[in-house]
Structures are given as C-alpha cells and as structure tokens.
C-alpha cells in the first residue's frame, strides 16, 4: 500500500479546533452543537482529556500529547435512525483503513467499535447521534487512536500503538490528515447509500470472522463463529447449528 501523502479532503477535518486540554472531545462537540452549527466535518482535537470516554460504562485512557483523541461532527440527515449502525460501519472502516495505510499491515474491527492489530487494541470509537423525527440530525464520531504512546496503564489488557508496531514516532497532525481522508471516503459512500458495500466491507473486516472461537455471555462460555452483523448492529454468531444475535455488551470475545 502506498505511503504517499493523501490528497486534501473536501470538508472532513478542514475546520480544526485544537485544544491543549478538555474534559472530553465528544462533550466539547456536544456543547458546540447545542450553541451553534459548526460546518460539517469539523474536528475537535485535544492533546489531553481529563474525562475521556469509551463505550458506555468505559473510560478512555491516553497519555497527554501522544495520541489522537478527536471528535468529528457530521450531519447525516439522509440517514434514517433505524439505519444508524451503517454510520458505525463507515467510521470503523475508516479507522481500520487509516491504520492499515500507516502500518502496511492487516487491521481488523472488533465488534462493535474497537480496532485491532493482531490481538491488540490500537483504537476505539464512540458515536453519539441526535435524532430528529425518523432521521439522524447530527452525529459525533469520537475516535481514540494510540499513536506514540509506548507505556500503558496496567488496567488496559491488550493495548498497542502505531509507534510500538513500527518502532518510530508519527506526526499527530499528519496522522489526523490521514484519518480525515479515510473518514471522508467512507462518509461519502454512506451519503450515496452504498449500504451493501459498507456491510460487506465491515463484515469481512471483523476480528476473527468465520473462525470458531469462544465468547462469554454472563457466566457462560459459547463456542461459535461470527457470521455477520444485523442491520441493527447485533452480532450474529452460529453455534451448535443455530443462529444467535447479541446486542452491545450482551456477549464478549474471549481473547
């Protein structure tokens, strides 16, 4: 894969709000949307977060000045609320492709919104959508990408970073530009309603797709294969000849 610089985006990342420190970039973006209407593709980039958030019930720990902790603002008014997982697909695919471009290595999406290199997590995504009527009125795509951090909190079970893998430091602004380019690519696919393309690309990029493995549901362990994701975002697992569907946090990988 070429490592040549990517072309400028049309709008994604063109309006950059750069902050030394903030409680959370997603919270900042929410406040911004409550009081104004920033141009589509606006990105909030913070070098330190006091209260970084992951998926509900989780926090995002990041060493100040070492990683990308950013939130993008989009207005996918063309997307029905019942189809909102396709936005998750688009953002996850963008982060995956960005990492593959920078690492020249295979990267996978661990359902629903983590990005993995091998068995290690390199990025996480938090999407927060506002609904108006039957459609999405605005969306905040929060992305935490481990870039130059080499030491991690002991509470994190399996982290890695671009620097740890490539044994070199990356420029944060250049990394942001790369991420913005891939985000725009997939967001435009979504805008053109290429749902089949996004679904196929997301499904085949899933971590351990169609591999027999163990999953934990409460205190039970299930052996099965991931066979896809429903339009509502439920993970489809085939086990013992039957199909099971699980929502977020109803089941987890055993790694």
Q: Rounded to two decimals, what is the model's pTM?
A: 0.92
Say if residue 142 is in the same domain as residue 94: yes
34: containing domain: 16-204
What would the two tokens of residue 211 be?
A: 């591999």
For residues 250-255, average pLDDT: 87
122 in the same domain as 221 = no
User: Does residue 76 lie within any of the structural domains?
Assistant: yes
Contact status, residue 160 vs residue 121, Cβ threshold 8 Å = yes
Same domain, 151 and 235: no
Residues 6 or more apart whose CB falls under 8 angstroms from that of 81 comprise 129, 131, 134, 135, 136
- What is the DSSP code (8-state) at residue 247? -
Question: How many CB atoms are located within 10 Å of the residue 95 CB?
Answer: 27
Domain end position, chosen among 187, 204, 221: 204
**CATH code, domain carrying 220:** 2.30.30
pLDDT at 153: 82
CA 23 vs. chain centroid, Å, equals 20
Domain boundary among 204, 229, 245: 204
Instruction: Name the average pLDDT for the chain.
Output: 92
Both 52 and 115 in a single domain? Answer: yes
Establish if 241 belongs to a structural domain: yes
Residue 73 lies in a domain: yes
Mean local confidence (pLDDT), 120-142: 97
Which two three-digit tokens encode residue 239? 């086990």
Q: At what angle do helices 195-204 and 172-191 cross, to 10 degrees?
A: 130
Q: Residue 152 half-sphere exposure, CB side, CA atoms within 13 Å?
A: 22
**CATH number for the domain harbouring residue 174:** 3.30.930.10
Same domain membership, residue 142 and residue 175 = yes
Same domain, 170 and 45: yes
Strands 135-145 and 120-132: antiparallel
Percentage of the chain modeled with pLDDT above 90: 80
pLDDT of 154: 80
Same domain, 126 and 240: no
Whether residues 132 and 75 fall in one domain:
yes
Q: Are residues 151 and 231 in the same domain?
A: no
Question: Is 85 domain-assigned?
Answer: yes
Residue 101 lies in a domain: yes
CA dist., res. 33 & res. 136, Å (int): 14
Is 144 within a domain? yes
Task: Identify whether residues 114 and 176 lie together within a single domain.
Answer: yes
Whether 167 is covered by a domain: the verdict is: yes
pLDDT of residue 52 exceeding 80: no
Is residue 59's pLDDT more than 70? no
Residue 2 belongs to a domain: no
Q: How do 135-145 and 213-217 pair as beta strands? A: unpaired
Q: State whether 135 and 181 are in the same domain.
A: yes
Please say whether the beta carbons of 125 and 92 come within 8 A.
yes
Q: Do 21 and 83 share a structural domain?
A: yes
- The angle, 0 to 180 degrees and rounded to 10, between the axes of the packed helices 195-204 and 85-103 is 50
Q: How many domains does the chain have?
A: 2
């Amino acid at each position: 894969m070429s490592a040549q610089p990517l072309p400028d985006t049309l709008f994604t990342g063109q309006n950059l709000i750069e902050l030394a420190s903030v409680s959370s970039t997603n919270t900042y973006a929410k406040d911004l949307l409550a009081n104004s209407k920033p141009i589509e593709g606006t990105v909030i980039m913070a070098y330190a977060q006091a209260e970084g958030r992951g998926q509900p019930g989780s926090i995002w720990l990041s060493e100040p000045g070492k990683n990308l902790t950013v939130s993008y603002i989009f207005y996918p008014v063309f997307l029905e609320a019942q189809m909102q997982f396709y936005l998750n697909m688009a953002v996850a695919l963008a982060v995956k492709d960005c990492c593959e471009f920078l690492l020249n290595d295979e990267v996978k999406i661990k359902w629903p919104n983590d990005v993995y290199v091998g068995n290690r997590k390199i990025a996480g995504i938090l999407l927060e959508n506002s609904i108006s009527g039957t459609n999405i009125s605005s969306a905040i795509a929060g992305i935490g990408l481990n870039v130059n951090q080499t030491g991690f909190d002991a509470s994190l079970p399996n982290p890695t970073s671009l620097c740890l893998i490539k044994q070199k430091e990356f420029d944060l602004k250049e990394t942001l530009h790369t991420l913005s380019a891939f985000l725009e690519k997939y967001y435009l696919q979504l805008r053109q309603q290429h749902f089949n393309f996004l679904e196929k690309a997301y499904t085949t990029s899933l971590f351990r797709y169609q591999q027999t493995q163990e999953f934990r549901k409460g205190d039970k362990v299930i052996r099965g294969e991931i066979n896809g994701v429903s339009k509502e975002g439920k993970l489809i697992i085939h086990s013992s000849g039957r199909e099971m569907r699980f929502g977020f946090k109803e089941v987890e990988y055993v790694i």
